[in-house]
């Protein structure tokens, strides 16, 4: 049996999402979000995802435990559940000695997400589920033709779609058009992408809604980071003094966030429980990589309603998972520019020059 399996996740931001750096002021923004150091594109770190998934799976397990206790007491029986609550004990960092992680091989939270080294110096456990960073797949940008969802070859590569021929400093669309198109304040030449239909079908298989599939705009990788960073949501807020009910002096602050409608992609790598032991004992909470992924998926309904990141009380952070399964077959698409002002491509493709 494989030692691990990968599961692709596609999520749609139902609210603006702010996963902050906790420091660093950039330009006019006080509270900045995390960016990839190489591409400079905002992302949600895998460590943030792992923490939020852990909390929500613990909540789900605890709700089940409470339900069983209630049912047993109604039937006048002794409940067949463990004493220790899953939430909050098995959630969080688990460093508190009294209310820390249970560290049991039959705990779905501690086996899937791991646990810290115990007070008695017994070993820690890394957990059976690993989370990649959540990267930007489709990013909504205002244009004079209404919102468009911008993507790039590098972003599409993460869902197994290889796109070639997106080389011009231009925006590639499903339909060719005479005029230039603005993406935010950036005005670009347009090109027709012949293979947009193939990309669209692939996104449809991943649960991306029609209204997004119909409004795709493909740009070269070097433009993508630029367009994303110029079109993040930036809001300004003011702190209110609770005693006076008026604005605090000098308490104006701004924050940035991924806008509502952003589509993100991440992976859960599920390890095979049969290859691991906890304090010499066989893991019984899960038996296969698929099992590990199913436990992690219990967090998705909570992500949709309780969200991720900061300022949840200000109506932020809800993330709906659109797709959660093994990756479908990869495919490649050729975006040959065929705009009228562009000679049709006659250069070699993959070295097929006669
Ligand atoms: Zn536990």
Q: Phi first, then psi: give them for residue 44, nearest 5 degrees.
A: -105, 120
pTM of the model: 0.88
Maximal C-alpha separation, the chain = 84
With CA atoms as reference, report the closest residue to 229 among 254, 255, 256, 261.
256
**CA 224, 225, 226, 229 torsion-angle sign:** positive
Identify the burial level of 320 via C-beta atoms within 10 angstroms of its C-beta, where 0-12 means exposed, 13-18 middle and 19 or more buried: middle
CA dist 44 and 132 (Å) reads 9
Ligand 1 centroid to residue 3 C-alpha, Å: 23
Ligand 1 centroid to residue 249 C-alpha, Å: 46
CA dist 118 and 80 (Å) reads 27
Ligand 1 centroid to residue 227 C-alpha, Å: 43
Q: Are 262 and 17 in contact (CB under 8 A)?
A: yes
Ligand 1 centroid to residue 116 C-alpha, Å: 11
User: Any idea where the domains of the chain sit in the sequence?
Assistant: 4-132+256-325, 140-232
DSSP 90-159: TSS----TTTS----TT-HHHHHH-BPPPTT----B--SEEEPPBEEEEEEE--TTS-EEEE-HHHHHTT
Query: Tokens 């692709």 appear where?
Result: 8
With CA atoms as reference, report the closest residue to 48 among 342, 307, 353, 352.
307
Ligand 1 centroid to residue 149 C-alpha, Å: 41
pLDDT in tens, the chain (354 residues): 789 999 999 999 999 999 887 655 556 677 888 999 999 999 999 999 999 999 999 999 999 999 999 999 999 999 899 999 999 999 987 766 677 899 999 999 999 999 987 666 667 899 999 999 999 999 999 999 999 999 999 999 999 999 989 999 999 999 888 889 999 999 999 999 988 999 999 999 999 999 999 999 999 999 999 999 999 998 887 778 888 888 877 777 788 999 999 999 999 999 999 999 998 999 999 999 999 999 999 999 999 999 998 777 677 899 999 999 987 666 776 665 544 344 434 333 443 333
CA dist 232 and 139 (Å) reads 9
Ligand 1 centroid to residue 102 C-alpha, Å: 4
Ligand 1 centroid to residue 282 C-alpha, Å: 15
**DSSP class of 20:** B
Ligand 1 centroid to residue 97 C-alpha, Å: 13
Q: Buried (b) or exposed (e) across 254-274, using 16+ Cβ within 10 A?
A: ebbbbbbbbbbbbbbbbbbbe
């Amino acid at each position: 049996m494989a030692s691990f399996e990968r599961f692709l996740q596609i999520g749609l931001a139902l609210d603006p999402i702010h996963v902050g750096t906790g420091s660093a002021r950039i330009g006019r923004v006080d509270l900045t979000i995390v960016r990839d150091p190489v591409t400079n594109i905002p992302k949600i770190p895998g460590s943030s995802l792992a923490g939020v998934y852990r909390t929500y799976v613990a909540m789900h397990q605890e709700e089940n435990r409470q339900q069983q206790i209630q049912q047993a007491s109604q039937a006048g029986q002794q409940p067949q559940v463990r004493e220790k609550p899953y939430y909050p004990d098995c959630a969080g960092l688990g460093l508190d000695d009294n209310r820390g992680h249970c560290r049991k091989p039959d705990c779905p939270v501690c086996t899937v997400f791991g646990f810290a080294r115990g007070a008695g110096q017994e070993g820690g456990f890394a957990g059976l589920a690993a989370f990649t960073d959540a990267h930007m797949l489709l990013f909504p940008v205002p244009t004079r033709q209404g919102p468009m969802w911008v993507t790039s070859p590098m972003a599409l590569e993460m869902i197994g779609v290889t796109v070639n021929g997106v080389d011009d400093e231009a925006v590639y669309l499903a339909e060719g058009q005479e005029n230039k198109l603005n993406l935010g304040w950036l005005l670009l030449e347009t090109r027709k992408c012949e293979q947009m239909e193939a990309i669209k079908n692939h996104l449809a298989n991943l649960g991306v809604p029609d209204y997004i599939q119909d409004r795709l705009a493909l740009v070269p990788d070097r433009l993508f980071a630029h367009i994303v960073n110029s079109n993040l949501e930036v809001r300004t807020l003011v702190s209110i003094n609770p005693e006076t009910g008026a604005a605090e002096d000098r308490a104006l602050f701004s924050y940035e966030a991924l806008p509502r409608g952003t589509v993100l992609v991440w992976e859960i790598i599920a390890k095979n429980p049969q290859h691991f032991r906890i304090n010499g004992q066989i893991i019984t909470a899960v038996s296969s990589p698929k099992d590990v992924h199913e436990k992690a998926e219990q967090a998705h309904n909570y992500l949709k309603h309780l969200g991720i990141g900061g300022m949840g009380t200000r109506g932020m952070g809800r993330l709906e998972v659109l797709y959660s399964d093994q990756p479908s077959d990869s495919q490649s698409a050729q975006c040959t520019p065929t705009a009228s002002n562009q000679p049709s491509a006659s250069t070699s493709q993959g070295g097929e020059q006669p």
